[in-house]
């Protein structure tokens, strides 16, 4: 069974601080990794994807991938109350299939 694990939270971070979200995956052959944001009752919204080891930055968001450790993370700098949501880690574990983690609920405290 190919698993994607996330700490369910809730993770509380003061406004303006850095939020750090983590994800581990079991399938060593996984090639691509995605972070989605999901507000309650809404659909997943893509934030970032990463394929190569290292860091990838997009605005306030940085994705980090370490394939040797089977670990992917998302950093959110200068956290805003609007960042409060559930963050889903998704891993491509087949030709087209994404396997999702349970998500980490993030709350930004004003």
CA angle 82/88/92 to nearest 5° reads 140
CA distance to 14, 64, 104, per residue, from 110 (Å): 6, 26, 19
Choose between 75 and 98: whose C-beta lies nearer to another protein.
98
Binding to another protein by residue 43, rule CB under 8 A?
yes
In whole angstroms, the minimum distance from the beta carbon of 11 to another protein comes to 17
Binding to another protein by residue 61, rule CB under 8 A?
no
Token pair recorded at residue 96: 């087209």
Under 8 Å between Cβ of 23 and 101: yes
CA distance to 3, 46, 69, per residue, from 76 (Å): 24, 14, 21
Question: Of the candidates 24, 64, 73, 92, which one interacts with another protein according to CB under 8 A?
Answer: 92
In whole angstroms, the minimum distance from the beta carbon of 16 to another protein comes to 29
Question: Of the candidates 52, 68, 82, 96, which one interacts with another protein according to CB under 8 A?
Answer: 96
Query: Which residues, listed in sequence order, are joined to residue 19 by a DSSP beta bridge?
Result: 76
- Count of residues engaged in binding another protein, rule: CB under 8 A: 23
Give contact residues for another protein (rule: CB under 8 A): 31-32, 34, 36, 42-46, 49, 88, 90, 92, 94-103
């Amino acid at each position: 069974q190919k698993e994607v694990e996330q700490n369910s939270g809730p993770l509380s971070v003061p406004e303006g601080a850095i939020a750090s979200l983590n994800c581990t995956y079991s399938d060593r052959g996984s090639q691509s990794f995605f972070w989605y944001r999901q507000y309650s009752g809404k659909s997943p919204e893509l934030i970032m994807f990463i394929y190569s080891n290292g860091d990838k930055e997009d605005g306030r968001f940085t994705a980090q991938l370490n394939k040797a450790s089977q670990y992917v993370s998302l950093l959110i700098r200068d956290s805003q109350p609007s960042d409060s949501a559930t963050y889903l880690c998704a891993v491509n574990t087949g030709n087209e299939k994404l396997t999702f983690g349970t998500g980490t609920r993030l709350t930004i405290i004003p």
